[in-house]
Structure 1
């Protein structure tokens, strides 16, 4: 008898819950929401969806290449269906010129790769970087800085720690002009042949001097003469620094004529190129023409940090109708 009473009470309560108007309204609303989600908006919306695959560009993950070592990732593109629909809804017809694209981030980023040197940026990014190693050549720096300023170009200067100690005003002049600075060791040794302790000392001491002089903590390291072994790269990574090499060499220390230097670079320049130079007479005389020639190839020139950014450049995007998608 007691069990029957309990079952009866449960049945009555369940009936009341299902039958009350609030429950009915809630269920009705849920059904409406589901129908709204499942029901196609209209033919225009469906056309945007069906056409969107034509404009999709997959994001490319950062990776370790067997030859070029670490390669940064690069954002992809896809149609922002909702935003595109809103732009076309007024006229009610599909219009390619009103499509809105958004950038899609890669799944693997440069900072997530194991320690490896970087010789170039992503091959699809129409940008190059000048890396200027400074351990001497003071007499040419002012002219080079003036030329960079004239063309609104920022570069990455890799400074020897010993040079910074002797020339704090010049080091500050470089950073005050808006350029990026990196670490080029303290005494310019052959790090490939140096002990682990020596490698770390060269890196940390230079970072300390650059920080004390300019207020900036470098995040990029360029081994002197490009000489390194895997342990050099690993120690730099332990010090929170990426190791930078190059893909195009001016060989300006051989004092080539401006024609030779410009032709040497322009015959090899490419998307993502890292172009090595020093403060020399040849580079100072060539720089204006070199910058102009690179820009004529529709390549932007910027710092190493900017070169490695995954964002696509606005001028390279279809119709420049882009919407960043930082959440992806």
Structure 2
């Protein structure tokens, strides 16, 4: 991790002119705690001594060989005209494949995506196989100089997070998890401090799939299979327009990882395991 606590992933260098999109959904928030259900609160990580929320990138590296597949839905606030013209920022076939193979997954979604595909957002958000988390409303960057993305003013960051949770609720998702993935994977100390009052845990990844604009499904599969370790979090996308090979890659990735003894879990299970592994004071 760099001095300014900034972590960037090569996969998310996808937004100079076209910003990658995926599939996911969100859900209702308890009052004052966006995305947090009224009962059975999902696991989160406590702030560190400095008050900064920790950044979760992978689960415990234990013999319990878990891996979390995560899918970003980063449709931006200004891509409505492209969607109206026929560009598809969803990928129902990918979601069907996950269901057919009974693979749990975590979807990080922008509020704009939920507005564009409310029925799909609702369906994914209410499926117990999946969980949904926040990827901002606009998919504008929370730092400067983030792969060409427009930036959110510091005074608007909290509102952008809250607006996404509101869009998830309007789409009919029962609940969204209190996890947040920074657009472009870019963050610094200032943007991290935004998350503390928002009541969310920052979630990144340790395996970049390389599916952004990829044309070779086998290459995507190899990159994931070469990178996965126990506890890994894999970042992928589920959009027909900007990640067309991901669904085909999954048909290789999933059985191969199962052959290696990996068990697919949601991010919440890995965070729960991380909390259990931490020393108690």
Q: Normalising by structure 1, what TM-score?
A: 0.59
Q: 1:154 aligns with which of 97, 101, 104?
A: 104
Contact kept in structure 2, 1:140 and 1:284, CA below 8 Å: no
User: 2:79 aligned with 1:129, yes or no?
Assistant: no
Higher relative contact order (CA 8 A, sep 6+): 2
Deviations 1:72-125 (A, max 9, x none): xxxxxxxxxxxxxxxxxxxxxxxxxxxxxxxxxxxxx93354412111111114
SS in 1 for 2:272: coil
Contact kept in structure 2, 1:118 and 1:246, CA below 8 Å: yes
CA–CA distance in structure 1, aligned partners of residues 231 and 174 of structure 2:
29
Match of 1:72 in 2: none
CA–CA distance in structure 2, aligned partners of residues 235 and 216 of structure 1:
21
CA–CA distance in structure 1, aligned partners of residues 203 and 235 of structure 2:
10
CA–CA distance in structure 2, aligned partners of residues 229 and 211 of structure 1:
28
User: 2:127 aligned with 1:177, yes or no?
Assistant: yes
User: How far apart are residue 262 of structure 1 and its match?
Assistant: 0.8
CA–CA distance in structure 1, aligned partners of residues 89 and 213 of structure 2:
17
Contact kept in structure 1, 2:211 and 2:237, CA below 8 Å: yes
Matches within 5 A, 1:84-163: 110-111=45-46, 113=48, 114-124=52-62, 125-136=64-75, 138=88, 141-163=91-113
Match of 1:284 in 2: 247
Cα RMSD (Å): 2.6
SS in 2 for 1:110: coil
CA–CA distance in structure 1, aligned partners of residues 204 and 245 of structure 2:
21
Matches within 5 A, 1:1-328: 110-111=45-46, 113=48, 114-124=52-62, 125-136=64-75, 138=88, 141-178=91-128, 179-193=130-144, 194-213=152-171, 214-279=173-238, 280-310=243-273
Deviations 1:206-264 (A, max 9, x none): 11111232131330001111011122222112211001111101121131411101111
Q: Normalising by structure 2, what TM-score?
A: 0.68
Deviations 1:103-160 (A, max 9, x none): xxxxxx9335441211111111411111100135856521111111122111111111
Structure 1 unaligned regions, length at least 5 = 1-64, 70-108, 313-328
User: How far apart are residue 284 of structure 1 and its match?
Assistant: 1.1
CA–CA distance in structure 2, aligned partners of residues 163 and 268 of structure 1:
29
Match of 2:28 in 1: none
CA–CA distance in structure 1, aligned partners of residues 202 and 131 of structure 2:
15
Structure 2 unaligned regions, length at least 5 = 6-43, 76-86, 145-151, 276-281
Deviations 1:49-90 (A, max 9, x none): xxxxxxxxxxxxxxxx999x8xxxxxxxxxxxxxxxxxxxxx
CA–CA distance in structure 2, aligned partners of residues 180 and 219 of structure 1:
10
CA–CA distance in structure 2, aligned partners of residues 273 and 233 of structure 1:
22
